Amino acid sequence: MTRKLSIYNSLSREKEALVPITEGRLGMYVCGPTVYNDVHLGNCRTFVSFDIIYRYLLKAGYKVRYVRNITDVGHLLDDGEDRMSKGARLDQLEPMEVAQKYTHGFHEMMQIFNTLSPSIEPRATGHIIEQIKMVHDILDRGYAYIKNGSVYFDTPKFIKDGHPYGKLSGRIVEDLLTETRDNLKNQDEKNHPSDFALWIKATEEHIMRWESPWSVGFPGWHLECSAMSTKYLGENFDIHGGGNDLKFPHHENEIAQNVGSCGHAPAKYWLHTNMLLLNGKKMSKSDGNTISPPELFSGQSEHISKAYSPMVVKFFMMQAHYRSPLDITDDALQAAEKGFKRLMETLRIAQEHQPTLPATGNKDLEIQKIIDGIWANMDDDFNVPNALSGIFELSGIINSIKDGHLKSEEVGDNSWKEMCSFILDFVHQVMALKNENEESDVKTVGGLMDLIIDLRKDIREKKDWAASDKIRDALLELGIQLKDGKAGTEWNRS
Ligand code: AMP
Ligand code: ZN
């Protein structure tokens, strides 16, 4: 059984019932990072939002194929230079080396924020053949033209044939004339300024280049997502997502390419996350208006008074709905830190007390109502902030029981049990928050044990058996058992 969800579709600008194309299954494509420099916190907000969406869809009983690409070619700068080649020249590295380095950094960051890996993570450079094939299909259907070895999408023809170019972003084609930023260098080659490049002939100095029927060149940025979503999710799939700054031109052009190559739009629902702001302005790599995650975790930024841990930052991100902008400030981070600590304390209590309590079958309707409310908020376009207030209501009840203000019998043993397991499950599996102190304690104990075993080895080599036994017995009292074997000494909790 799957839960019934309603989600906001940017295409219709309305909340709609989520009805999968194939019952019980969902295909979701999310535009991934451009790996030409370090991922910034704004990017992280978008990927964390989609991680919660992905996790909730799984929790709601759907089988989800989640595809998130890596853009390692084709995302042009305003001056027409490929971002990857620019990164390469500045760093004196091969383009693939740059891509590898920042892809690795991105993955590390996604792990730090405790997000799940997508089901498939295709790279644009690994799908040049599929992209060339799509250009062929668009040319065959008459929606593209060739100019000096480059291929451009013919937007006036597309509009003339009754296709809705501009529907997603709400723009009209006349407005697009001045706004298109796509490959300005070759602007004069285009028949119309709102046309965009599908394939670009490489200049002498351009490093990333492939053979094609039109020229030795490289694909346009928008093409990769059309080609890869079609390859892994089919011509028609359920959800397409990304930050709302991608609506135009990227997503608008993706739709045009899909319609232009196969006759129909790719996705049924378009989900767009809102921006993370710094000083009231969009956080952006190219404008330099950013705090990097490492700066935030170490406290080394002029914008903050202290260090904030990754889970506190993630919890801060959950304070706003994914469709609302979120301004990062020191005050908001401090408030998030307090809230996060309170929640972790509740989880500790829930974990400690949950298994020992006997259930007598009593149920508390108020508690059931709060739990149902949390589900309902998540079903309603993934309203995490509202779900969080429900979580904090439960947290308040759990804390009052712990503090003796409320007796567990008063809420009914069954409700107490249910409340504990619900909050543990929801916070760990949907919000994917974890107690960092516990983790660092595990690391510290591991390090200390390595040290003690090493020192005891020296003692044993000096045949000081009394001291060696003293250490072993003292550890045993602390619940740690040492086992001396041929390969050395191992330890476990007895
Ligand atoms: P990029 O690496 O620039 O292609 O961006 C990767 C993802 O991050 C895209 O979905 C963008 O829409 C998103 N993004 C970029 N800046 C921000 C921001 N300030 N807040 C939230 N998401 C952002
Ligand atoms: Zn994309």
Segment 137-157, tens digit of pLDDT: 999 999 999 999 999 999 999
- Average pLDDT for residues 394-400, to the nearest whole number? 91
DSSP state of 44: H
In the block, residue with structure tokens 């644009």: 124
Look at 420 and 62; give whichever has higher pLDDT.
62
- Average pLDDT for residues 430-445, to the nearest whole number? 84
Asked if residue 88 lies in contact with residue 95, where contact means CB atoms within 8 angstroms, the answer is: yes
Q: Name the closest-CA residue to atom 11, ligand 1.
A: 243
Ligand 1 pocket residue status of 31, Cβ below 6 Å: yes
Specify the pairing of strand 281-282 against strand 276-278.
antiparallel
276 Cα–ligand 1 center, Å: 9
Regarding pTM above 0.75, the answer is yes
* CA-closest candidate to residue 388, choices 374, 399, 372: 374
Asked if residue 427 lies in contact with residue 391, where contact means CB atoms within 8 angstroms, the answer is: yes
Neighbours of 64 (CB within 10 A): 19
Angle at 240 between CA 428 and CA 285, to 5 degrees: 80
Asked if residue 28 lies in contact with residue 239, where contact means CB atoms within 8 angstroms, the answer is: yes
Supply the pLDDT for residue 92: 66
Supply the pLDDT for residue 81: 61
Ligand 1 pocket residue status of 243, Cβ below 6 Å: yes
Asked if residue 241 lies in contact with residue 28, where contact means CB atoms within 8 angstroms, the answer is: yes
Q: Which of 10, 31, 46 to mutate to test the pocket of ligand 1 (most atoms within 8 A of CB)?
A: 46
Which of 69-78, 207-216, 234-243, 277-286 shows the lowest per-residue confidence on average (mean pLDDT)? 69-78
Asked if residue 391 lies in contact with residue 343, where contact means CB atoms within 8 angstroms, the answer is: yes
The per-residue pLDDT for range 225-281, each reduced to its tens digit, is 999 999 999 999 999 999 999 999 999 999 999 999 999 999 999 999 999 999 889
Q: Flag whether pLDDT at 355 surpasses 80.
A: no
Q: What percent of the chain has pLDDT over 90?
A: 69
Supply the pLDDT for residue 418: 86
230 Cα–ligand 2 center, Å: 12
Give the confidence band of 74 by pLDDT, cuts at 50, 70, 90.
low
For 318, the token pair is 């959950």
Supply the pLDDT for residue 78: 45
Supply the pLDDT for residue 480: 86
Angle at 136 between CA 134 and CA 141, to 5 degrees: 95
Asked if residue 266 has a cis previous peptide bond (ω within 30° of 0), the answer is: no
Asked if residue 431 lies in contact with residue 53, where contact means CB atoms within 8 angstroms, the answer is: no
Ligand 1 pocket residue status of 241, Cβ below 6 Å: no
- Average pLDDT for residues 482-493, to the nearest whole number? 86
290 Cα–ligand 2 center, Å: 22
Ion ligand 2 residue ranges (Cβ < 5 Å): 31, 225
Supply the pLDDT for residue 352: 80
Q: Flag whether pLDDT at 183 surpasses 50.
A: no
